Amino acid sequence: MRILVTGAAGFLGTRLARTLLAGGPISLAGAPAQAITALRLTDLFAPPADLAADPRVQAVTGDLGTLLAEGRLRLDDVDAVVHLASAVSADCEADLDLGLRSNLAGSLALLQAARQGGIASGRPPVFVFASSVAVFGAAPGHALPALIEDEHLPTPQGSYGIQKFMVEQLVADFSRRGLVQGRTVRLMTVAVRPGRPNGAASSFVSGMLREPLAGQRCTVPVAPETAVALASPGRTVAGLLAALSTPAATWGPPTAVNLPALTTTVGEMARTLAALAGPEAAARLDWVPDARITAIVGGWPARIAATRAAGLGLQPDASVAELLRAYAADHPEALAQPLRA
């Protein structure tokens, strides 16, 4: 079995790749389980050394659209695609052309390549697309419903969410036509992300936990009462794996599945940080409002009814404390001191 992962040098792509390589045979869309013989990883940057050293890994480095246009990234022999590559929210809002090129044009080119690959091989590949909770937003003069259901019509209010929703519809149409076996999952804000801050409007959500735990300061650009929908990296990868493996009859229609979310507030995150790492950790948070970030993040829903995901056996994280302890267990080297018992 051959699987392609785009955005594979990012923390989520890296975690997914490691999970796939360590997990043994996998069932694609309910088919008999097969071992992974090739894992093709593509991104602007090379994958970490441990992945590159695995003989099953084929690294293809460069811009996704350019790689496809020049024929340097092949899809005629892949059985599945997990499409994680994306320009992030605040960057898309600041640069429309970046988002259109990376998120819309790049995704369409990938779908077309998957389509042609399926025609060549005689088997439409499973195509998993990572969308976002940012497809939801309150249209001017309207309020978001108290609870977002799977069937709630997205009305994104930012370029990033609009581009994600456009690709959701492309995946659904390619699936309807039998060109790919499309599976779209809407990711929540993933926390705690390791590494450094990125250009996502929600980057502070991980930073306000990660940086104080490392003994560093972090600016929080929203008010403490701001509600957010969170998911740990482990729960997020579980959702991607479910999208790869679930039989079509169980998965249901090609419309997107909301992954489960832990609903909390930024203030509760700060309080949990203080409880588990001490008040000195929470004192490293600098509360400096940013109207631009507040408008973006505040327009996303925080209460999600992930009914279809629950039917697939997927569950949300139980608490912010669980998120923090999972991060500490995965990245003990990133902590200035251990968490309290």
- The reported pLDDT for the residue numbered 269 is 97
Give 332's pLDDT tier (boundaries 50, 70, 90): very high
pLDDT tens by residue, 110-119: 999 999 999 8
Q: What is the pLDDT of residue 199?
A: 74
Q: Do residues 20 and 35 touch, judged by C-beta distance below 8 A?
A: no
Contact 188, 229 (CB under 8 A): yes
Q: Whole-prediction pTM value?
A: 0.95
Q: Rounded CA gap, 287 and 226, in Å?
A: 12
CA distance 246 to 134: 25
Distance CA 6, CA 64 (A): 8
Q: Token pair of 328, please?
A: 């500490």
- Angstrom distance (rounded) from CA 148 to CA 106: 29
Q: 341: which 2 tokens?
A: 């018992």
Closest among 162, 69, 164 to 110, alpha carbons compared: 69
pLDDT tens digits along 161-177: 999 999 999 999 999 99
Dump the DSSP string for 23-73. Answer: S--B-STTSPPB---EEEEEESSPPPHHHHTSTTEEEEES-HHHHHHTT-S
Catalytic positions, written as ranges: 160
- In the chain, % of residues over pLDDT 90: 89
Q: What is the CA radius of gyration of the chain?
A: 20
334 C-beta neighbours (distance < 10 Å), count: 15
Who's near 70: CB < 8 A, 6+ residues apart?
none
Q: Which of 52, 174, 36 is nearest to 118 (CA)?
A: 174
Query: pLDDT by residue (tens digit) across 225-282?
Result: 999 999 999 999 999 999 999 999 999 998 899 999 999 999 999 999 999 999 999 9
Write out pLDDT tens, residues 185-228. Answer: 999 999 999 988 887 889 999 999 999 999 999 999 999 999 99
Tell me the domains of the chain and their CATH numbers.
2-188+232-260 (3.40.50.720)
Among 270, 156, 262, 267, CA closest to 212: 270
CA atoms within 13 A on the CB side of 289: 8
- Cβ-contact 337, 277 below 8 angstroms: yes
**pLDDT tens column, 59-91:** 999 999 999 999 999 899 999 999 999 999 889
Instruction: Tell me what pLDDT residue 177 has.
Output: 96
